[in-house]
Amino acid sequence: MTSPKIIYQDKFVAAIDKPSGWVTLYSDGRPTLLQKWLRKEGIVKEEEKKGEFKKRTGIIHRLDKDTSGVLLVAKAPTVLATFRRLFKERKIKKEYLALVRGKTPQAGEIKAPIKRERDFWRVAPGGRMAITKFSCLNYLTNKEGEEFSFLKIRILTGRTHQIRVHFKYLGYPLVGDKIYGSGKESFPRLFLHAFRLSFFHPFLKRRVTITSPLPEELQKWRETLKVDKEK
């Protein structure tokens, strides 16, 4: 399994490039392999390992197990509280790259409530409102003539499985999604990557943008597809 790596660091936060397959946080509070890695790397100081901060090992937000990309980690409890508030207030811009099945509109906004039903999530009345914006970077086809859309996605809310559920709802499931996909997925991983986070740093008083390139396995598979010049 590919290991995480630190792609940005200052005295307040660190940004991790999380590989697909690594669980961010367990709901029951057990430490994940990622949290053990963060402790081993010494990103969180020993004297700060207590209470909620210890439970989260400074992790500010979640990424799905199968999603790769930028994950932000706080180095102190006050930093954790401040950045979690910034996420809640939508002051941190979160952008993703995804490959979906079918030919989407060139751009759009999905505004639909998401509700949990047993172990899954779906768009349904009574759920929590979620907002997803997207634009198409390329339309592509494979050798069998199947159509795909390579998207840049921005989420304004942070609901569980938000991107996957929203695009399933529209009829454009993500490639490699074993839960919300087409039911005949053979691609070995979810084609969803958190490629950029940007925010005004409340402690350094300057704008910070952190970028993670598309992982090699996703880039190679994308390159097997033919770009539709009619976009």
Residue keyed to tokens 């759920």: 127
CA distance 18 to 27: 19
pLDDT of amino acid 200: 98
pLDDT of amino acid 230: 56
Whether the model pTM is above 0.85 = yes
As for how many domains the chain has, the answer is 1
Contacts of 152 (CB under 8 A, 6+ apart): 95, 96, 97, 134, 135, 137
Q: For residue 182, which amino acid is it?
A: S
Nearest to 146 by CA among 103, 104, 179, 188: 103
Share of the chain above pLDDT 70, in %: 94
pLDDT of amino acid 135: 98
pLDDT of amino acid 184: 66
pLDDT of amino acid 177: 92
Partner residues linked to 117 by β-bridges: 120
- Inter-residue contact 171 to 123 (CB < 8 Å): no
Nearest to 82 by CA among 68, 92, 97, 67: 92
Q: What is the dihedral of CA 45, 25, 89, 206, to 10 degrees?
A: 40
Partner residues linked to 101 by β-bridges: 148
Residues serving a catalytic function are 64
Query: pLDDT tens digits, the chain, 231 residues: what are they?
Result: 789 999 999 999 999 999 999 999 988 878 899 999 998 888 876 545 567 788 899 999 999 999 999 999 999 999 999 999 999 999 999 999 999 999 999 999 999 999 998 878 999 999 999 999 999 999 999 998 999 999 999 999 989 899 999 999 999 999 999 889 866 667 889 999 999 999 999 999 999 999 999 999 999 989 989 988 655
Please report, for the domain that includes residue 214, its CATH number.
3.30.2350.10
- Residues 204-219 pLDDT 10s: 999 999 999 999 999 9
- The residue range of the domain holding 205 is 5-227
- Residues 72-100 pLDDT 10s: 999 999 999 999 999 999 999 999 999 99
3-state helix, strand, coil in the chain (%, to 5): 20, 35, 45
